[in-house]
A and B are shown apart, each in its own frame.
Chain A
Amino acid sequence: MDLSAINPVLLVASLMVAATPILLAAIGELVVEKAGVLNLGVEGMMITGAICGFAIAVETGSPWAGFIGAAAGGAALSLLFVLLTQLALANQVASGLGLTLFGLGFSALLGQSYVGVKPPATPKLEFLGLSDLSVIGPILFHHDLILYFGIVLVAAVWAALKYTRMGLILRAVGENHDAAHALGYKVVRIRILAILFGGACAGLGGAYVSLVRVPQWTEGMTAGIGWIALALVVFASWKPWRVLLGAYLFGGITVLQLNLQAAGVAIPVEYLAMSPYVVTILVLVILSADKSSAPASLGRIFHAAR
């Protein structure tokens, strides 16, 4: 066992990388849930984004085209969820589960010929002078664009929900869809847009796994982080900045257990590998007392009767 092999600076830097997929998916799902929709298909949209992004990046040679394609792929899968829950008024829990099962199969189908292929590298940004600083250089100024985009997205969602009329209407729809309808707001349209946004974010998060974090394609490679992202939204009490905090916490645990595995700690690998899931459960238990901030219409079906 050699704990000294763990470099704290690299640990923090890679923690941010590990956190980004969860962060992207969770902030998207937060918007969806704020609109009163519970989409349990995050895992399915992430894995779809992962393969779409991977395939497009490999075919075009451009990681950026890959990320755009991943967002489109995730949104396209969420469109199925839209059809089921917003138009066919199906149960959201069942539809979300279906989305995940379907996404896992669909991505495996698409990804057959991409197993073992190496994707084009996603370049890291270089900030003149800053990136070379010791400690904060690697931590803050030596990452790819998407990682920064994730953080900016959290800020943007926070500001939009708190300060804009669009955000107010979105919250109103999630809080009481009957009242919003009575005031003349297009409940279904607003929810569809929110679901598509959530799908795009999840797709982006998935592509971050396959293009940056791993980077390669294997079946089922998102390994439950879509579900962790869902748990994170509860953990964050539907508050954007807390999503960031939570994502970094889970990223930290993931990276730490990988580092401990590499360092050959006496704990069996399997027990280290299950730690992020166990921690997720523990955090859910600790925080589930506070349900007051959940949108009141979350998961309820809206049908404008008369």
Chain B
Amino acid sequence: MIVLEKRPQPSREWALATPLVAVLATMIVGGLLFGALGTNPLVAIRTIFWDPLFGEFAFYYRPQLLVKGAPLVLIAIGLSLGFKAGIWNIGAEGQYIIGALVGAGIGLAFYPLDAWYVFPLMVIGGAVGGWAWAMIPALLKVRFGTNEILVSLMLVYVAEQLLASMSLGLLKNPEGHGFPGSRNLADYPSATSWINQDVGLHWGVAFALIAVIFAYVLLNRHMLGFHIRLTGDAPRAARFAGVNPARLILFCLGASGALAGLAGLFEISGPAGQVSIDFNIGYGFTAIIVAFLGRLHPVGILLAGALMALTYIGGEIAQSQLGLPAAAIQVFQGMLLFFLLALDLLTNFRVRMRKSEVA
């Protein structure tokens, strides 16, 4: 008989090892899945994990790692603050869209003005847009006790409709010959987030790194971060320590919204370039996996974001070269989260084999 025993305290070794074991297990099971789809598992795994970094066309893919990783890290850092405190913002995708819309709207309003302050204003707009969108579930939770999970998620669908409306209406390119979508911000020098497109460097990458450092200091060295961790571990003890739960909810949701909004702004003014119906590709949801895979730790999230970006790029290569369906990579990412959650057991519990007890 297998018995679970709660450890007196979480195992540090397992806490570090589970993400690695989860990645390995996902590779194995994912490989079997690819095999079932008629692809050589080893080739598929190599294509996803090796080729983007060291393959023949790695010079092209490596910059993509920054482009795809930056929004994931930026959003996941924000989400991890709330997740640590038991505040579940799962509508980052919506905040990402609204941040992008507000930021892009500011940029397009200035077009074609050439001024240094256009982009900073867009950055502020992006952050404020995402923050405001996250304030809806936050205020409703504080004021009425409404479940933030459901509200933030419903707002994703609302934001998608707004995006559709904007790209077909208000923000549509007046010189676009009737095609949906806005002007291309990446071609508007005062409004683009690109710093150096050839190496994949845009302002989002810089902000993601700053966010990692900021979150690390906050969680480890500052009272607010301590209160966030305390609330997640023992909400009553947090109130006893003097935490104001309402303020914490507003902070966590607001910060994650602002970071998601920033991610959206950097994406729309750089890699994506324009407001279009299919602008969002699920970074807001994948970031949830990144946050957990990084164990809600800033440095972990940085690594997890890089890994997840790799699967995105590798997935695209596998799609074009091996004909693997795009959905396969989504399954792959979901599987990773499952293994991680299941293996987390080993951090908090000890699994023992025991002979069936004689009564």
Contacts and interface: CB of A to CB of B under 8 A. Distances in A.
Do A and B come together as binding partners?
A: yes
Most chain B C-beta atoms within 10 Å of own C-beta, residue among A102, A227, A271: A102
Contact of B327 (A112, A223, A270, A273): A112
Contacts of B327: 105-109, 112, 219
B136 to A, nearest CB: 8
Main secondary structure of the interface of A (DSSP, over half): helix
Identify which of A228, A278, A284 gathers the most chain B CB atoms within 10 Å of its CB.
Answer: A284
A94 B154 contact: no
A305 interface: yes
Nearest to A90: B341
Contacts of B349: 89
B143 to A, nearest CB: 8
Interface string B135-174: 0100010001111011101111110011011001100000
Given A101-B333, A109-B327, A284 B161 contact: no
Interface string A76-90: 000010011000111
Dominant SS among interface residues on chain B: helix
Interface string A263-295: 000001011011001101100110011010000
Nearest to A274: B161
Contact of B150 (A88, A102, A219, A284): A284
Nearest to A109: B327
- Residue in A103, A105, A271 whose Cβ sees the most chain B Cβ within 10 Å: A105
Nearest to B326: A108
B330 A281 contact: no
Contacts of B136: 281
B288 A101 contact: yes
Nearest to A290: B145
B289 A101 contact: yes
Given A95-B341, A277-B155, 18 more contacts: A40-B149, A88-B345, A89-B349, A98-B337, A101-B337, A108-B327, A109-B325, A223-B157, A224-B157, A228-B154, A230-B150, A231-B150, A234-B147, A271-B165, A280-B150, A281-B155, A285-B146, A288-B145
Interface of B: 4, 6, 37, 88, 90, 136, 140, 144-147, 149-151, 153-158, 161-162, 164-165, 168-169, 285, 288-289, 292, 325-335, 337-338, 341-345, 348-349
